[in-house]
Amino acid sequence: MLHAVIMAGGAGTRFWPASRRDRPKQFLELAGTGPLLRATFDRVVPLVGAARTWVVTSRSMVARTRELLPELPGENVLGEPAGRDTAACAGWAAAVLGARDSGAVCLLLPADHVVGDEEAFRRALAAGGAHVSGEGGLLTFGIRPTRPETGFGYLKLGPREATVDGLAVHRLERFVEKPEPDRARRYVEGGDFLWNSGMFAWRTADLLEEIRRQLPRLAEGLDRIAAAAGTAREAEVLDEVYPTLPRTSVDHGIMEGARRTWTIPVDFPWSDVGSWPALGEVLDADPAGNVRRGRVLAEDTTGSILVGEGPVVVTVGLEGYVVVATPDAVLVVPADRAQEVKGLVGRLADLGWDDVL
Amino acid sequence: MLHAVIMAGGAGTRFWPASRRDRPKQFLELAGTGPLLRATFDRVVPLVGAARTWVVTSRSMVARTRELLPELPGENVLGEPAGRDTAACAGWAAAVLGARDSGAVCLLLPADHVVGDEEAFRRALAAGGAHVSGEGGLLTFGIRPTRPETGFGYLKLGPREATVDGLAVHRLERFVEKPEPDRARRYVEGGDFLWNSGMFAWRTADLLEEIRRQLPRLAEGLDRIAAAAGTAREAEVLDEVYPTLPRTSVDHGIMEGARRTWTIPVDFPWSDVGSWPALGEVLDADPAGNVRRGRVLAEDTTGSILVGEGPVVVTVGLEGYVVVATPDAVLVVPADRAQEVKGLVGRLADLGWDDVL
């Protein structure tokens, strides 16, 4: 059966001050369509059903996740005692799924992306699931690039091997790290590179086999956790073992060295909403090129992201800035320096201003 | 006896979003030494005593004024049914004072200035009071200019006529409207021009006589109000007459045409804190030239006014801006366009965002 695992463990400091420790990015309504996690859930449930939808999040977010997704069976929310990157997350979910459904095919999806065409999204996921269900191997969905983005990794397309429901399935030739602008431009023009979306499909058995082969320490830890599942020591063992699992990503730890990998190029509108300026990818701009949320009066202000999460925001004479106001914290930063926000949040911690973290 | 009348009727939209309809500038702690009105009161009471200190404010602010100044006799707070500029305010206060103390000498002081040397301030006020007590006439205190400010009116010094407690008393030759930068520069260099501070001294009888001569309609209105004082119709007549009083300033309506006018040049540190950038005149800047209030993290930010009235403020890459954050409204404006704030507040009213006015 087809399952979906939604990864909702991120801290999301890049969306400070809207995001906080207890209100990470996936709980924000960045795209104006409800919290991102809720939107992801709603997007995938028509394909797999709520009973086969799973959410992996940090333990402190389990209660809020259940509250946000009341249709989801409570046991389908997996609370990590500690964040150990995506390979551990994917492996743990596969082990839990596999114990319940030995023939499970699993889609692995980030909770905090925005997708413009839900039908196309589900059609692609269904095709990917169908392909790995029959052929095995690990499959990643690659987004046809629309701009020479230097903030993403890329996927190099290999030869086309199959067509499922009209969608081409290619061999995945290799992963490419975030490129320089010139190279990114060539990638977009060349047509055989895709953005690495971080969305995957596999049979859980195949994923666990690759983990056992490439990441034996992870496999061993997952075995210990699985052995305790359903016993009185379940929580204790999870708390003990999970924080010691090797910290690596699905891309680096599993996909790059996997024996058989596929990719399906997709072209539905997609954004990982990676930082404040990316709001311009998911919300319409006004005639002056400003993206606004909330009550904003923008005088002689252009190309800016203006967000009032409660407070009224009044700006004069800004060009290409991000202004985000919440009742207890305000950020003003040039859009092209928005990647510094994460570091600034660290500085706030150093200053002891924990109440706004 | 020497009295002091503090004018505290201003709306202060130039300090939005810190100032609001129900929290005008004189109630703000702009200089970090308590609310401006409280600081003005504390500055003058050692000279005249609380019993001879008076505050004229808008009726809606009477209760808050009494709360802020519990030492002040309740009847010393005069609530205007409507703002009618400073001539009406000064005249009404003089009439009320005069009824109680026919020989009263009165100091008229704005509630929202900041003074750096309180002893020098009181010494100058005492000298002014002493001079007009003996000589009559209307006296204004002129600030020795420290920069070619174009936002103030100036006073042209006439010949020196007296010395009181070491302070020179000059004839006031004339008032000068806000000058162009070149002229302002000449004024500062020449040495015989002063900033018009809006602080005055006179015998109440002399002021009322000048009002009767120059502003007969105002005198007539004040007579009607005075005739009803202490009767059952007092409030009713005040409500009826006050809003009809001619609207003019002490400078234009009384001083410019007065028969005998004086000025005492003073040089204590003084600011009328006229708009956000003026905060730099009353608070120390950090090494990057930023003036900060509240919890502010300023990264690569210079020459800016950064005010967190509650919220934490984080800025990156700003040069010469004003950022003011309150829990329900945020302002970002170049310092050299801070005079536009008043107009923006009007725009907010047009938008119907009355909750932040």
Q: Cβ contact (<8 Å) for A17 and B332?
A: no
pLDDT given for residue B280 in this prediction: 92
Residues of A in contact with B344 (CB under 8 A): 297, 299, 314, 316
- Mean pLDDT within B23-40: 92
B positions 10-69 inside 8 Å of A (CB):
17
- Mean pLDDT within A197-203: 97
Give yes or no for a contact between A337 and A350, defined as CB atoms under 8 angstroms apart.
Answer: no
Greater pLDDT, A31 or A8 = A8
Q: Could you report the per-residue pLDDT of B16-29, keeping only the tens digit for each?
A: 999 999 899 999 99
Whether chain B has a CB inside 8 Å of the CB on A357: the answer is no
Q: Could you report the per-residue pLDDT of B279-310, keeping only the tens digit for each?
A: 998 899 999 999 999 999 999 999 999 999 99
Distance from CA of A315 to the nearest CA of B (A): 5
Q: What is the distance between the alpha carbons of residues A266 and B182, in angstroms, rounded to a whole number?
A: 66
Least CB–CB distance from A353: residue in B312, B327, B340: B312
pLDDT given for residue A224 in this prediction: 98
Q: Could you report the per-residue pLDDT of A321-354, keeping only the tens digit for each?
A: 999 999 999 999 999 999 999 999 999 999 999 9
**For residue B31, what pLDDT band results from cuts at 50, 70 and 90?**
confident
pLDDT given for residue A31 in this prediction: 81
Q: Cβ contact (<8 Å) for A330 and B311?
A: yes
| Residue A253 confidence (pLDDT) above 80 | yes
Whether chain B has a CB inside 8 Å of the CB on A311: the answer is yes
pLDDT given for residue A168 in this prediction: 98
Q: What is the distance between the alpha carbons of residues A128 and A148, in angstroms, rounded to a whole number?
A: 26
Least CB–CB distance from A312: residue in B295, B299, B329: B329
Least CB–CB distance from B344: residue in A297, A332, A334: A297
Nearest Cα residue to B146 out of B181, B106, B93, B189 = B189
| Residue B104 confidence (pLDDT) above 90 | yes
**Phi, psi angles (nearest 5°) of residue A319:** -135, 115
For B73-109, b where at least 16 C-beta lie within 10 A, e where not — what string? eeebbbbbeebbbbbbbbbbbbbbbbeeeeebbbbbb
A22, HSE (Cβ side, Cα atoms, 13 Å): 5
pLDDT given for residue A30 in this prediction: 87
**For residue B151, what pLDDT band results from cuts at 50, 70 and 90?**
confident
Q: Cβ contact (<8 Å) for A317 and B333?
A: yes
Task: Find where tokens 């499909």 sit.
Answer: A201
Beta strand residue intervals within chain B, DSSP E: 2-8, 53-58, 77-80, 105-110, 114-115, 138-143, 154-164, 167-176, 193-203, 261-266, 270-271, 291-293, 296-299, 305-308, 312-316, 321-326, 329-334
- Mean pLDDT within A236-250: 97
Q: Cβ contact (<8 Å) for B340 and A316?
A: yes
| Residue A45 confidence (pLDDT) above 90 | yes
Mutate to test the interface with B, among A19, A296, A312, A336 (most CBs of B within 10 A): A312
Q: Could you report the per-residue pLDDT of A267-293, keeping only the tens digit for each?
A: 999 999 989 999 998 899 999 999 999
* Mean pLDDT score across all residues of chain A: 96
The secondary structure of A244-255 as a DSSP string is: GS----HIIIII
Least CB–CB distance from B353: residue in A312, A316, A331: A312
- Mean pLDDT within A4-33: 90
Whether chain A has a CB inside 8 Å of the CB on B316: the answer is yes
- Mean pLDDT within B96-102: 94
| Residue B30 confidence (pLDDT) above 90 | no
Q: Could you report the per-residue pLDDT of B75-95, keeping only the tens digit for each?
A: 999 999 999 999 999 999 999
Task: Report all structural domains of chain B as residue ranges with CATH numbers, in order of start.
Answer: 2-271 (3.90.550.10), 276-356 (no CATH)
Instruction: Give the residue on A whose Cα is nearest the Cα of B295.
Output: A353
Q: Which amino acid is at B330?
A: V
pLDDT given for residue B33 in this prediction: 81
| Residue A11 confidence (pLDDT) above 80 | no
pLDDT given for residue A265 in this prediction: 97
| Residue B267 confidence (pLDDT) above 90 | yes
**For residue A357, what pLDDT band results from cuts at 50, 70 and 90?**
very high
Q: Cβ contact (<8 Å) for B314 and A297?
A: no
In this prediction the ipTM stands at 0.88
Distance from CA of A236 to the nearest CA of B (A): 40
Whether chain A has a CB inside 8 Å of the CB on B100: the answer is no
- Mean pLDDT within A107-115: 96
pLDDT given for residue B306 in this prediction: 98
pLDDT given for residue A10 in this prediction: 79
CA distances to A70, B57, B86, B184 from B218, in Å:
71, 18, 12, 34
Residues of A in contact with B310 (CB under 8 A): 327-328
Distance from CA of B314 to the nearest CA of A (A): 5
- Mean pLDDT within B328-350: 95
Cα B231-B237-B239 angle, rounded to 5 deg: 130
- Mean pLDDT within A76-86: 96
Whether chain A has a CB inside 8 Å of the CB on B357: the answer is no
Instruction: Give the residue on A whose Cα is nearest the Cα of B356.
Output: A312
Cβ atoms within 10 Å of A11's Cβ, excluding its own: 17
Give yes or no for a contact between B43 and B118, defined as CB atoms under 8 angstroms apart.
Answer: yes
Q: Could you report the per-residue pLDDT of B310-324, keeping only the tens digit for each?
A: 999 999 999 999 999
Beta strand residue intervals within B213-277, DSSP E: 261-266, 270-271
